[in-house]
Amino acid sequence: MTMSNSAEELVERLFSASLGMLDLMNIYLGHRLGYYKALHAAAEGLTPLELADAAGTNARYAREWLEQQGGSGLLELRVPSNDPDQRRFALQAHAAEVLVDPTNLNYLVPLPEMFVGMAQQAQKIIKAHKTGGGVSWEELGNEVRESQARFNRPMYMSLLGNEYLPSISDVHEKLTKGRPALVADIACGGGWSSIAIAKAYPNAEVHGFDIDEPSINLARENAESENVSDRVTFHHADAASSSGKYDLVLICEAVHDLPQPVPVLEAARSLSGTDGTVIVMDERVAEEFEAPANEIDRWMLGVSNWVCLPDSMSSQPSVATGTTMRPSTLRRYASEAGFSDVEILPIENDLFRFYRLIS
């Protein structure tokens, strides 16, 4: 990313950004109205009237949406016509990966869902910026909560238990051999990390903890749908209040959100006992702040202003980490929690970095 060196360049950049935002907003409509599912089911494509009939919407609105999607290159104009009501649009296979299949690693519909959810809380966010207060995860609402869970679902279900944890040999061995293994998933959210571990490791019993009750309810529904409720238990509780010893304590994409991360890491250390392992997955941001920043840091800093920092600031006192938790910051938190070292694991992921906290 380079800086804009003239007003004209900045205008061009912002106009391009507005086109992207409009694409996201209309993708949100297509998802919520069932347009993409209807198109995915129709190999030859649909006319505006056919789409409206399939989705239960108004044909004139369906036409406008189809033309926006076709004009943006998101749909293929399969049958051109001078009569706009006879134009037939189709969803190509590669687009279905991104827009329809919630299990695909390329699925990105949760992004516009999250952005719409953030925008709905604009006045609360503005007030928080002015007063130094916050907007809690509960206040951010279901749109943000559920989109976060859906965004991480494909990665957890495809990679966490099948590639990432197996690459940590001693952890993999504990989860596969001997007595049934116990796993604590702290700040489990919608539960997909817990579910992924249970499905990948039939020898494991997983306990997910979260202080957000709607997230726990969602996690229980997800576990039921994946038929792992017999080995995955979700607790509406602070993990620090839990007892017992676990072979693996996992904290996925949550440490940077915590108003007080050190006590939570202390609890993780206690729960892991003398033989367990503590793994933290958090954002793969740059080692140091740079301006202009790389794309990942730009994305994380942008989200931080609307979600992570307001959530953290909603509970006081707060260390107010923000989304861009650098490795040095986690090392400091871990040291204060009594860990002797932090190892960055050689797991490749564009968005996330994996740490092993050593007692």
Over residues 32-45, the pLDDT tens digits come to 999 999 999 999 99
Cβ atoms of 190 and 212 within 8 Å: the answer is no
How many other CB atoms are found less than 10 A from the CB of residue 173?
13
Residue 214 corresponds to which tokens in the numbers above?
């709607």
Tell me if residue 352 falls in helix, strand or coil.
strand
294-301 — which CB contacts under 8 Å span 24+ positions?
A: 294/1, 295/1, 296/350, 296/351, 297/324, 298/1, 300/324
Q: What are the pLDDT digits (tens) for 260-319? A: 999 999 999 999 999 999 999 999 999 999 999 999 999 999 999 999 999 999 999 999
| Cis peptide upstream of residue 259 (ω within 30 degrees of 0) | no
Q: What are the pLDDT digits (tens) for 5-38? A: 899 999 999 999 999 999 999 999 999 999 999 9
Cβ atoms of 300 and 283 within 8 Å: the answer is yes
Q: If phi over 0 gives left and psi between -120 and 50 gives alpha, with beta otherwise, what is residue 244?
A: left
pLDDT of residue 179: 86
- Which CATH class name applies to 112-358? alpha beta
Residue 4 has pLDDT above 80, yes or no: no
pLDDT of residue 143: 94
Q: Which residues contact 89 (CB under 8 A, 6 or more apart)?
A: 39, 45, 46, 47, 51, 66, 69, 70, 75, 76, 77, 78
Residue 346 has pLDDT above 80, yes or no: yes
Considering the chain, tell me which residue range(s) the CATH 1.10.10.10 domain(s) occupy.
7-100
Residue 65 has pLDDT above 80, yes or no: yes
Dihedral sign (CA 53, 55, 60, 63): negative
Q: What are the pLDDT digits (tens) for 75-124? A: 999 999 999 999 999 999 999 999 999 999 999 999 999 999 999 999 99
pTM of the model: 0.94
Domain covering 7-100 assigned CATH 1.10.10.10 in the classification: yes
pLDDT of residue 242: 79
Considering the chain, tell me which residue range(s) the CATH 3.40.50.150 domain(s) occupy.
112-358
The CA-atom distances, in angstroms, between 111 and each of 24, 131, 260, 265, 303 are 8, 28, 27, 29, 11
Q: What are the pLDDT digits (tens) for 121-176? A: 999 999 999 999 999 999 999 999 999 999 999 999 999 999 999 999 999 999 99
pLDDT of residue 244: 87
- 305: burial class by Cβ within 10 Å (0-12, 13-18, 19+)? middle
Query: Which run of H or of E encompasses 165?
Result: none
Residue linked to tokens 């001078």: 82
pLDDT of residue 54: 98
Amino acid at 22: L
Residue 78 corresponds to which tokens in the numbers above?
């399969």
Residue 1 has pLDDT above 70, yes or no: no
